[in-house]
Amino acid sequence: MMNVLKRTICSLLCTVLLLSAISVSAEEAVTLDATSYLLMEGSTGTVLTAKNETEQRSMASITKLMTILLILEELDKGNLSLTDTVTASANASAMGGSQIYLKENEVMDVDTLLKSIFVASANDSCIAMAEHIAGSEAAFVERMNERAGELGLTSTVYKNPHGLDEEGHHSSAKDIATLSREVMKHDITTNYTTIWQERIRNGTFELTNTNKLIRFYDGATGLKTGSTTDAGCCLSATAKRNGMELIAVVLNSPTDAIRFRDAKTLLDYGFKNYTLTTLAATDESFGEIPVKYGKKETVLVYPKEALTLLSKKTEQVNAEPKIELYTAKAPLNAGDVCGKLTFEANGEIVKETELIVTEAVVKQSFWQTVKEFLKVI
């Protein structure tokens, strides 16, 4: 209970912004050359500023974020391993644009192909992986559009897995930010996106990151560039400072240099004006409850998920925790809900989650129950 008391005192002293106060118009926030843009805070998905964010536009190689996501999800499911080998088809080897010049029947492992997509935006690697996973490029594109629907990407339609210009192939700044957030949930992502230069094919071929912010912007973590005649210069850039990760999407910037400047302007604006406060961590106990009929008499409860609150630095308000603990009876399994945690500001709930036990509690034997009963009487 000491942790709870300490946390309560700290929270009373901690000042944070009400969520309703973080809406800022694009005109007030920044001025960019990009036709469409959006800045999002990653953990909450809150949009900090945007312009033409739902407008459908060509997205060039930012398309590859969906290709990457499907690869990562196949890895998570165990359907794919980084050490699996992939044989390049004639279709893959015939790709133009950015590539690693796969030859027909060349064999390469998934790790290297994924690295070449993340770092060098290799179109041929996208085709090789698409065919390996789905059997054909067309079948993989179907999966891309299905997943877009599941993620609520209402402005997005995929015609290919690489992003070369094709009629009807489009997305929006808002959809791309949402997709970027999903990709960044995979811890493995930054293993690839933070690579500046690396050699493959036994050191004979060098990959150089197309995202120059990785080298020149403090806290940059990713994510994906894109450039075609229809799309202009595009970028989904991610960066993290002081525990807050931002996603800046710019579409149709006039030049390569300007897209990086536009993204930097968005990221600078976010880090200058906003902060992220951790209200509750998953490894922090918020109470101890008795367990009826359990071999263990009490058990600690923890937040089911971490609670963070995005705050605009200029406007502040107190956030106070309220803890509700339930009656617990053995047997208990790890993950069982035994309470509720809420944080309120100005009388409104700004964050809430369930409190759970993280360890199992076995039910005591019949004779132990009798013994406990006899102690009472």
Burial class, 367, CB count within 10 angstroms (exposed 0-12 / middle 13-18 / buried 19+)? exposed
The reply to whether 11 belongs to the active site is no
Query: Is 70 exceeded by the pLDDT of residue 373?
Result: no
- Marked catalytic residue, from 36, 51, 64, 311: 64
CA 275 to CA 270: how far, in whole Å? 8
Nearest CA-CA partner of 236 in 27, 38, 24, 25 = 38
> CB of 301 within 8 A of CB of 71?
no
Catalytic residue among 36, 58, 61, 311: 61
CB neighbour list of residue 2: distance below 8 Å, 6 or more residues apart: none
Neighbours of 105 (CB within 10 A): 10
* pLDDT classification of 287: cutoffs 50, 70, 90: very high
CA 257 to chain CA centroid, nearest Å: 26
Contact predicate 163/234, CB 8 Å: no
Cα separation, 177 vs 47, whole angstroms: 9
pLDDT digits (tens, 9 = 90+) for 73-114: 999 999 999 999 999 999 999 999 999 999 999 999 999 999
Share of the chain above pLDDT 70, in %: 89
Which of the following is catalytic: 36, 98, 116, 121?
A: 121
**Domain architecture of the chain: domains with CATH:** 2-16+281-376 (2.60.410.10), 31-274 (3.40.710.10)
Is 322 among the catalytic positions?
no
Taking alpha carbons only, the member of 234, 195, 242 closest to residue 218 is 242
Spatial separation of the C-alpha atoms in residues 285 and 274, rounded to whole Å: 28
121 is catalytic: yes
What's the pTM?
0.85
| pLDDT, tens digit, 9 for 90 and up, residues 314-370 | 877 678 899 999 989 999 999 999 999 999 988 889 899 999 999 999 987 665 655
